[in-house]
Amino acid sequence: MLRERLQPFINRDLEISSLLVSPDILHDIKKMTQLSKEQSDISDLVANAKEYIHILDSIEENKTLIFDPELGELAKEELKYLESREDELQLEIKKLLIPKDPNDGRNVFLEIRAGTGGDEAAIFVGNLLGAYLRYIDSKGWKTEIMSMSEGEFGGYREVVVLVKGERVYGRLKYEGGTHRVQRVPATESQGRIHTSAITVAIMPEADEVEIELSPNDLKIDVMRASGNGGQSVNTTDSAVRITHIPTGIVVINQDEKSQHKNKDKALKVLRARIFDIKIREQMALERENRSAQVGSGDRSERIRTYNYPQNRITDHRIGLTIYRLDEILSGGLLDDLIEPADAYYQAEAMKATE
């Protein structure tokens, strides 16, 4: 029963409160900080648990009164409210019981790459990047361009953006995957609809302590930057290519005029990609140990189709179709897509905890 599952959290909260005023803990700042954080992490669950148990007790009490000639009608009315509140609390508590993703509070590297479709795919990378940047701006988050490779006819073959803010990964983590676009390219004289695809990766930022990069594992090459002309082309060997030998991951950065800055940015992206691999390996292991598969994050998975002629966006994972493609992308109103996906995966996670 849910009630029995909640009592240990209430007991632990009482235990922490007692420990926090004990002389030993008062003189141990590190332990006090750990306990305070633990208590803060379970505070919402404990508050809801206490109310839920009180509601259950009140329901039982009112059930004994429904046949009372004087208090029966009042008890029936009270029961309607109590049972409704019981349902609300059950749902809230199940959400709170979902194991928290420790990476939800991290900044992320947003990586968008052109896939099948050539120039049209690169152009759509630019379109989707614009939608993400408008969304990011609406959230008050900050961005830093880490690297970008422009397409020959517009857009980008690849772009990596560091997004900084509150719970960025928690908000964007289900955006990873293959995004497919269907529309008539500007260069299409016959008016035929083409299908192209791009991939999006959402990689949590990792620091140097979490992902240590041994110099012996790195092959670092410097070269002259290349591009379509203008400021993106340097006349010195400032571009940097770093190969992580154990994984074969290659990161190239050439956007800064300084070789040192390009190397620093490339190392940050490399750490994120290695950290991302570790997270995916952990997710795969967890999926083996439970019946429900919650958010595989597989980049080969086709997650959305953007159909311009029909002004339609379809999220294939959750069966959602919205006929406001122009409004959502041009206005950066991605919450209309992100929130339903988040709710779906929350519901799947709740099933996995039952």
Decide if 103 is inside a domain: no
- Which two three-digit tokens encode residue 175? 């955006």
Instruction: Please check the confidence at residue 60 and state whether its pLDDT lies above 90.
Output: yes
How many domains would you assign to the chain?
Answer: 2
Distance of alpha carbon 111 from alpha carbon 179, whole angstroms: 13
pLDDT exceeds 80 at position 85: yes
pLDDT at 57: 95
The confidence score (pLDDT) of residue 293 equals: 35
Instruction: Note the pLDDT tens digit of each residue in 116-150.
Output: 888 899 999 999 999 999 999 999 999 999 888 89
- Same-domain status, 53 and 122: no
User: Does residue 49 sit in helix, strand or coil?
Assistant: helix
Same domain, yes or no, for 279 and 247? yes
Give strand pairing partners of 162.
109, 144
Determine the average pLDDT of the residues in 284-297.
49
pLDDT at 296: 41
Confirm if 251 and 242 have CB atoms less than 8 A apart: yes
Structural Rg of the chain based on CA atoms: 26
Q: What is the mean pLDDT of the chain?
A: 87
Asked whether 343 and 320 are in contact (CB, 8 A), the reply is no
96 vs 43: CA distance, rounded Å: 10
Q: How far is residue 187's CA from residue 52's CA, in Å, rounded to a whole number? A: 62
Residue where a domain terminates, one of 52, 76, 97:
97
Strand 302-307, strand 177-183: pairing: parallel
Q: At 326, which CATH number?
A: 3.30.70.1660
Boundary-marking domain end, from 42, 67, 97: 97
Percent of the chain with pLDDT over 90: 56
Domain residues for 29? 2-97
123 and 20 together in one domain: no
Establish if 71 belongs to a structural domain. yes
- DSSP letters, 166-213, are TTHHHHHGGG-EEEEEEE--TT-SS---EEEEEEEEEEE---TTTS--
pLDDT for the residue numbered 297 = 40
**Confidence class of residue 230 from pLDDT cuts 50, 70 and 90?**
very low
What does the pLDDT average to over 331-349?
Answer: 91
Model pTM score:
0.74
The pLDDT value recorded for residue 11 is: 95
Q: Which of 199-208, 229-238, 273-282, 321-330 has the lowest mean pLDDT?
A: 229-238
